[in-house]
Each structure stands twice: as structure tokens, then as C-alpha cells.
Amino acid sequence: MDESPGIAKLFSVLLAGEYAAYQRLITESAMAPDVASRIAIGRMAASEMGHFDELAEEVAGRGLDPAEQVLKYVDIFDRYHGTTNPKTWDEVMVKCYVGDGLAADFYGELADALPAEAHDVVSSVMRETGNSEFAKEWIRARVAAEPELKWPLTLWGRRLLGEAVTHTQWVLAAEDDVTDLLFTGGTTDLAQVSQFFDSVTERHAKRMADLGLG
């Protein structure tokens, strides 16, 4: 297979991200106020594991051990989740909806920049399953019932975006092969990098509006 070395690294990074997301959902499900909410979170976790399996197959097909690649990159995602640790179920719900959307947005931006051999894989993994829709309905109902929740949850959503952008930048700074794969000018093409994050930020704003926040 004659392809950029950045593709294997990108798949490995995404693999670690899916693993971390799965673990995060399982942990945060303990805060669920009822059985229905735990079931909904479980469906999201199952989707993350399905995406994990798709990426693991791609990683293994390139001669890499999926578990080793998770260990190599998971720390950066653990740090993200460590800095965005929700304290209430409302914050869990915002994180579920915003986090699911941010992942899809990042994947969507990535897919557009990838060569054909990687585009279909990322396009498949990036699909929003719709399992986070329950979180949107929860937050909209909560804000309608208690308008004083709007501002703190809006700040929480902004923090989620800021931390996601920061940690993505760390990945790009650490992996030149991935950066060169995604941005034709490499790390020096600041205009392309800026456009990438501007697009993600715009979509985030629309998603926050959908929640009745922002």
C-alpha cells in the first residue's frame, strides 16, 4: 500500500479518541438520574465502540497493533476529558451533544482534506448516529424550565470547544505527518489551519443554538 505515513498515524489518533470517548461515556453514565438516561448513554457508548472497531481494522491492516496505538495517543484525549469533567448531569448532557457534534465536525473537515484511500474510512466513522439527540431534548427542556441554567451551560459549551481546539492543536504540533496530510502547506500554512478551526467553531455555534444556549 503506497500511501502517506500520515494516514496510519491519523487513524491511530482517531482510534485512541474513540477509545477515550467510550471510556468517558461509561464513567459519566454513573451520574444518570434514571434508567432511560443510562440506556441512552449506553447506546452512545456502543456507537463509539463500533467506530473503534472500524478504525482498529484499518490500523491493523497497516501492520500496527491497535492496542499499542491506543496507548501511544490516548493520553492527549484523557487530558481533554480531565479538563472537561462534568459536575452535573446537565453538564454531561451538554458534553454528550456538543462532544458528539464536535467529533463529527472535526472528522468532516478531515475527510475533505484526505486522499481517496482514507476519505471513505473517515467519512464512515464520522457519521453522527443520532444517539445524542436525547441530550438535546434534555437540555432544551431544562433551560425552558429553569432559565437561570442557560448562562452557566453556555459557558460550559464554550469551554468544551476551547479545550477541543487546544488539544487538537497539540496533536497537530506533535505529528508533522498528520499535519502535512491535512494541510497542503504543512505547519506553515496558517491560513488553512485557521480556516479549519473557524469552520468547526461556526458549526459549534449553530449546535449550541440548537440546544437553546449561546
Q: What is the residue-averaged pLDDT of the chain?
A: 84
Q: Would you place residue 59 in the very low, low, confident or very high pLDDT band (cuts 50, 70, 90)?
A: very high
Q: How many helices (H) and strands (E) does the chain have?
A: 9, 0
pLDDT in the model for residue 127 = 63
Q: Would you place residue 183 in the very low, low, confident or very high pLDDT band (cuts 50, 70, 90)?
A: low
Provide the 8-state DSSP code for 62: T
The fold of the 5-210 domain, in CATH, is Ferritin (1.20.1260)
Give CA–CA dist 95/80, Å, rounded: 12
pTM (2 d.p.): 0.84
C-alpha distances out from residue 108 to 93, 111, 196, Å: 22, 5, 10
Percent over 90 (pLDDT), the chain: 42
The domain spans of the chain are 5-210
pLDDT at residue 181 greater than cutoff 70: no
Q: What is the pLDDT of residues 152-164, one digit of tens each?
A: 999 999 999 999 8
Provide the 8-state DSSP code for 114: S
Handedness of CA 168, 82, 126, 105 (dihedral sign): negative
Give CA–CA dist 104/126, Å, rounded: 5
Phi, psi of 126 (to 5 degrees): -75, -10
Provide the 8-state DSSP code for 2: -
Q: Is 85 helix (H, G, I), strand (E, B) or coil?
A: coil
pLDDT at residue 186 greater than cutoff 50: no
pLDDT in the model for residue 187 = 46
Which residues, other chains included, contact 86 with Cβ-Cβ below 8 Å and sequence gap of 6+?
Answer: 28, 31, 92, 94, 95, 156
pLDDT in the model for residue 198 = 85
Contact between 153 and 134 under an 8 Å Cβ cutoff? The reply is: no
Handedness of CA 62, 63, 66, 70 (dihedral sign): negative
pLDDT in the model for residue 35 = 94
Identify the burial level of 120 via C-beta atoms within 10 angstroms of its C-beta, where 0-12 means exposed, 13-18 middle and 19 or more buried: exposed
pLDDT in the model for residue 152 = 96
Give CA–CA dist 47/2, Å, rounded: 31
Q: What is the pLDDT of residues 73-86, one digit of tens each?
A: 899 888 888 899 99
Give CA–CA dist 23/177, Å, rounded: 27
Min mean pLDDT across 89-98, 125-134, 177-186, 190-199 is at 177-186
Q: Would you place residue 171 in the very low, low, confident or very high pLDDT band (cuts 50, 70, 90)?
A: confident
The rounded radius of gyration (Å) of the Cα atoms in the chain is: 17
Residue with C-alpha cell 438516561? 37
